[in-house]
Amino acid sequence: MRKIVECVPNISEGRNQAIIDACADAVRKVKGVKLLDVDPGKSTNRTVFTFVGDPESVVEGAFQFAKTAFELIDMNQHKGEHPRMGAVDVCPFVPVANVTVEECIDCAKKYGERVGKELGIPVYLYEEASTNPARKMLKQIRSGEYEGIKDKIYKPEWKPDFGPQEFLPKSGATVTGVRFFLIAYNINILGTKEQAHRIALNIREQGRSADEPGRLKDVKAIGWFVEEYNMAQVSMNLDNFRVTPPHVAFEECLKDAKEINIAVAGSELVGLIPLEAMLKAADYYMAKENLFIIDEKQKIRLVIERMGLSSIAQFIPEKRIIEYMLDDEVQEPLANMSVRDFVELVGARTSAPGGGSVSALAASLGAGLGAMMGWMSYGSKKFEHLDSKMRKFIPPLHIAMKELISMIDADTNAFNDYMLAMRLPKNTDEEKKIRNQKMQEGLKKAVEVPLKVMRTADGCWEWMNELAKVGNASSASDLEVGAKCLETGIWGAFKNVKINLPQIEDAEYKSKVVKEGEEILDRALKALKKIEKVIASRV
């Protein structure tokens, strides 16, 4: 699945549009990155940029952005209300989807190292990327601001993590690190400012005092009245949506509002939100109301309705959910092709897409046909007695189908790391050692992709077999075709696993992979025969 990192760099310039545009253009030119927002402030003389992409692309985008900003901004001339310490004041990396905090820390360090080495700028690490308690919070590092750096930077305890221990009047210093995704979220209250603030005090982590903390972790909140809306609001910053997601904050406010006999009139999302947060909310409401919804767009619609996200302005998923703003055609070009174009490309004079991508496609079709039989057995009066079973059988097949679709492109991209390693220098013994190590890592990655296809397809057999026993018999042949597609996808993926193994030097790894692959293939052959036998007994 696609890895998405958000980068939110701030520059000490909010008035010169030419400089702001140049920094934005530097990001736009980087492949694999999408610029989502540019927010200049004239009084603060500061601009916040937001862009997203895969880890490698985001680091490149951040570096090109910083290079442009440091070239064009002169801190000697800067005046503004917002605290700042350099031309690029802070450059945080934020995990959004399918990436860990550790991966984002790696992004921050790679970015910091390049800025320090190639641009000669002092760089400090903060938040999750810093291991120094005295230099973990941004306000600690930024203390004294730009004007204080000229004395502070020469102290031993303030030696930068990257770059020179030197005061640069034009550029200042910069900070990079990792923070969690912050969601700005307001809940509408048909009451007074005081009532909204009372609820805010109940829920925010700080609460009313140290002796009377609030109920929700990683939440900041206040109550205010918005004349434009003629409503009060509980205005919140959710500092870590994985700890306290928006739907939990909404339900807690709803509970408190009922206790003091005031109405909640929906809510308002300010800015963007990760898809994960929306799907968590969908899972909550589906469980609460015993709903069965598989289609992602319907899940999003459910959340919009239950949380009243369109109460102030229409909530348009394509403009508010980060993943929906990205270009799928760029991220998964093969999976987004027409059937005709994909097949013709497979048959063209090119090595990719090849057997690996076709195997992933075959397996995804197998899982899809299994899900199809489930749907043909669900939701009609004739098969109403099967509904509870279909609610159990359909989801894992649907999820496997979606995962396998993404592997169509993943297989074609699997050799990228190996090919990059091949281009590394090999003039010295140390360079040869590093090159060989990276090549071996690349080969293992090339093996792991088709192996993941096998594992994902292998997880479908239990549900396919259950469907064979009780599913709508009119779809029996579809299920048989699906089972054969699954088996074929597994067989083909194993061929792609084995063809890359001889070049891998790790004998233990090779033995382990072959053993697992043979076991999955053996289960596939047996499962196919079992399903064919069950279907034959019913038809």
Task: Write the secondary structure of 189-204 as one string of H (helix), E (strand) and C (coil).
Answer: EECCHHHHHHHHHHHC
Q: What per-residue confidence (pLDDT) applies to 268?
A: 94
Q: What per-residue confidence (pLDDT) applies to 330?
A: 57
Specify the CATH number for the domain of residue 294: 3.30.70.670
Specify the CATH number for the domain of residue 162: 3.30.990.10
- Judge contact between 276 and 233, C-beta under 8 A: no
Tell me: do 158 and 193 sit in the same domain: no
3-state class of 248 per DSSP?
helix
Q: Which of 123, 157, 178 is the last residue of a domain?
A: 178
Tell me: do 154 and 197 sit in the same domain: no
Q: What per-residue confidence (pLDDT) applies to 327?
A: 62
Tell me: do 298 and 256 sit in the same domain: yes
Q: Which residues contact 48 (CB under 8 A, 6 or more apart)?
A: 8, 9, 10, 37, 38, 39, 41
Instruction: Specify the DSSP class assigned to residue 414.
Output: T
Sheet holding 231-238, edge to edge: 219-226, 231-238, 183-190, 263-270
Tell me: do 137 and 262 sit in the same domain: no
Instruction: Output Rg (C-alpha) for the chain, integer angstroms.
Output: 27
Q: Left, alpha or beta for 499 (phi > 0: left; psi -120 to 50: alpha)?
A: alpha
Tell me: do 252 and 309 sit in the same domain: yes
Pure H helices in 228-354: 246-259, 275-289, 296-307, 317-320, 322-325, 328-331, 339-346
Residue with structure tokens 């598989």? Answer: 294
Specify the CATH number for the domain of residue 438: 1.20.120.680
Burial call 139-164: b when 16+ CB within 10 Å, e when fewer = eebbeeebeebeebbeeeebebbbbb
Q: Which of 305, 324, 343 is the last residue of a domain?
A: 324
Tell me: do 43 and 187 sit in the same domain: no
Q: What per-residue confidence (pLDDT) applies to 482?
A: 97
How many domains are contained in the chain?
3
Q: Which of 178, 211, 237 is the last residue of a domain?
A: 178
Residue 238's Cα: distance from chain center in Å? Answer: 17
**Residues carrying an active site annotation:** 82, 411
Tell me: do 435 and 504 sit in the same domain: yes
292: containing domain: 183-324
Measured distance CA(169)–CA(289) in Å, rounded: 61
Q: Which of 181, 185, 203 is nearest to 255 (CA)?
A: 203
Tell me: do 187 and 317 sit in the same domain: yes
Q: What per-residue confidence (pLDDT) applies to 438?
A: 87
Tell me: do 251 and 358 sit in the same domain: no
Q: What per-residue confidence (pLDDT) applies to 47?
A: 92
Tell me: do 287 and 372 sit in the same domain: no
Tell me: do 48 and 148 sit in the same domain: yes
Tell me: do 487 and 534 sit in the same domain: yes
Q: What per-residue confidence (pLDDT) applies to 328?
A: 57
Query: Would you give per-residue pLDDT tens digits along the chain (539 residues)?
Result: 678 999 999 999 999 999 999 999 999 999 989 999 898 888 788 899 999 999 999 999 999 999 999 999 999 988 876 788 999 999 999 999 889 999 999 999 999 999 999 999 999 999 899 999 989 998 899 888 889 988 899 999 999 999 999 999 999 999 999 999 999 999 999 999 999 999 999 999 999 999 999 999 999 999 999 999 999 999 999 999 999 999 999 999 999 999 999 999 999 998 889 999 999 999 999 999 999 999 999 999 999 999 999 999 999 999 899 988 876 555 688 998 999 999 999 999 988 888 999 999 999 999 999 999 999 999 989 999 999 999 999 999 999 999 999 999 887 777 777 788 888 888 898 888 889 898 898 889 889 999 999 999 999 999 999 999 999 999 999 999 999 999 999 999 999 999 989 989 999 999 999 999 999 999 999 999 999 999 999 87
